[in-house]
Each structure stands twice: as C-alpha cells, then as structure tokens.
Amino acid sequence: MRLLLATAAALALGACCHTPKAAPEAPVPAIDPASAEETAVEPAEWVPPVMPTPEEAAKASADAQAAAEAGVVYAGDAQKGASLTMKNGETLRIELESIPTAGYVWTVAEAPAFMKQVAEGGRPTNPAYQNLPGYTGGNHYISFDFQPVEAGTGSFKLTEGRPWETDEEPMDTYELTITVTE
C-alpha cells in the first residue's frame, strides 16, 4: 500500500511540476541598500486620520444620498415591491445596500426588454468613515442604471447573494414594476 501511495504521489508531482530545462538565467544584479528608495513612513511622521464627528458623518451620508438621487428616477429599499412611472428619456437608478467585501452582491436576475442597462456603480454607506485612509470593509450601495428604449410596463427582479454559491437560495430579493410613458 505504501508503495502504491508513493508511486501515485511521484506521478502526481511529476505531472504537475515538470518543467523543461531552461537556458541558464543571467545573474540578478545586487542592489546597494544605501541607494534604494525609502518607501515606508517613519513612525514619527505618521499622523492618524481625524475622525469625523457624528454630525459630519450624518451630513456626508445625506450629501452622498442626495448625489445618488440627483437627475434620476431613484428606487431604493423603500421602493421594494412598488410600482414606479417614468418618462422615456429618463434614467432609472436601482440602488441597494449590500456587503460586497463579504461577497454579497446584488445581481439583475430579470429586467424588462424595453430597459437597457447603461451603468453599474457603488458607493460606501458611510462615506465619512469609509473614505478614511486605511478603512476596509463595511456595507456599500450597489447601483444599476437603466434607460428605456421604448414605452412599456415590466418588472425588475434582483437577487442578493454570493455569485459562486450557485446552489444556495438568494439571501434577499428585490422586485420593482416600472411603467415607461412617452
């Protein structure tokens, strides 16, 4: 049995690790440490970021939300299951909160044939903190912009989950009915 395992291991290593002999490489030149650029910040030079006050954080979030809603027909979590009407030529933005740093993202599962996706984006849910240097993780908004190519009525269905977990049910779903008038 040991011989069989040893043979199988040798064959496996030989199959995955075999590389043809290459021509000898030129020697790697030595780097003089005295001439190397210093890239690290000295601890005495580092200044921690200034944390925003709760009022500054609330204002930054409100400003970011206003910018996300500007110039578009906006549909967020409050419009889940709702019906909206828009005119041909306007842009519909569906924006939902997710945790992309943990792999959870929204995906458009169904869209009306008369709506063409023109953009996809994202932004932090708490920009005053999440835009600080070194900040990682946190929830984000994921947005999908659509423009109508003709008038009509139809439904959107979005699902939230990890794209690689294909056998799992979505963590959440979002449906929106849209009517486009001339």
Q: pLDDT tens digits for 49-75?
A: 889 999 999 999 999 999 999 999 999
pLDDT band at residue 109 using 50, 70 and 90 as cut-offs: very high
Residue 45 lies in a domain: no
Number of domains making up the chain: 1
Q: What is the pTM of this model?
A: 0.74
Residue span of the structural domain in which 63 resides: 59-181
pLDDT at res. 155: 98
Residue 18 lies in a domain: no
Residue 4 lies in a domain: no
The mean predicted confidence, pLDDT, of the chain is 85
Residue 12 lies in a domain: no
pLDDT at res. 5: 42
pLDDT at res. 10: 47
Considering all CA atoms of the chain, what is the largest pairwise distance in Å, rounded to the nearest integer? 78
For residue 27, give both structure tokens.
Answer: 């020697």
pLDDT (tens digit per residue) in 14-56? 444 444 445 556 666 666 666 666 666 677 777 888 899 999 9
